[in-house]
Amino acid sequence: MQTVEMQAKTKHFMNLALFGYFGLLMYLPLWHLVFVPSEMGKLTTLLLTVGPLLLPLAGIIKRNPYTFAWATFIILFYLLHGLTLIWDRPDERLFVIIELVLATMSCVGCMYFAKFRGRELGLSIRKKKDEK
């Protein structure tokens, strides 16, 4: 199998996605267990905050563009969570802004990495004009 070299802009978006993804993975437990402990049990809090992020972990480590693409849908949950809490909990606004920044970085990075790496590898869901 031939390996295709990754272009600089693709690497940039991959790094952006990885920084945001792993940042969320480390930051959310700290926020909800250490900085502002949740009223729920620790295990429940961990499952709800980190559980969904663990689903695409294997594919993200393997740099699979398809996994980055569908991981975006999971990251949208964290964007919605942050946008809801920014109004609901003004005393935790700084923590929420950090979550929003990390989730936005991850979401944008995942989308564009999947797009550019998919093109580099020749993966496409579009039909060529001659096939129509």
Give per-residue pLDDT as tens, 77-114.
Answer: 999 999 999 999 999 999 999 999 999 999 999 999 99
Residue 62 lies in a domain: yes
User: CA Rg, the chain, in Å?
Assistant: 17
Angle (CA) 72-77-80 rounded to 5° is 120
Q: What is the rounded average pLDDT for all residues in the chain? A: 91
Selection from 24, 23, 13, 22 nearest residue 114 by Cα? 13
The mean pLDDT of 1-16, rounded to a whole number, is 86
3 state SS of 62: coil
- Rounded CA gap, 94 and 62, in Å? 33
Q: Are 72 and 93 in contact (CB under 8 A)?
A: no
- Rounded CA gap, 51 and 55, in Å? 7
Residue 132 lies in a domain: no
Give me the domain span that covers residue 58: 8-123
Residue 129 lies in a domain: no
Residue 82 lies in a domain: yes
Residue 2 lies in a domain: no
The pLDDT score that the predictor gives to residue 1 is 43
Task: Count up the domains in the chain and report the number.
Answer: 1
Q: Are 67 and 60 in contact (CB under 8 A)?
A: yes
Greater confidence (15 vs 129) lies with 15
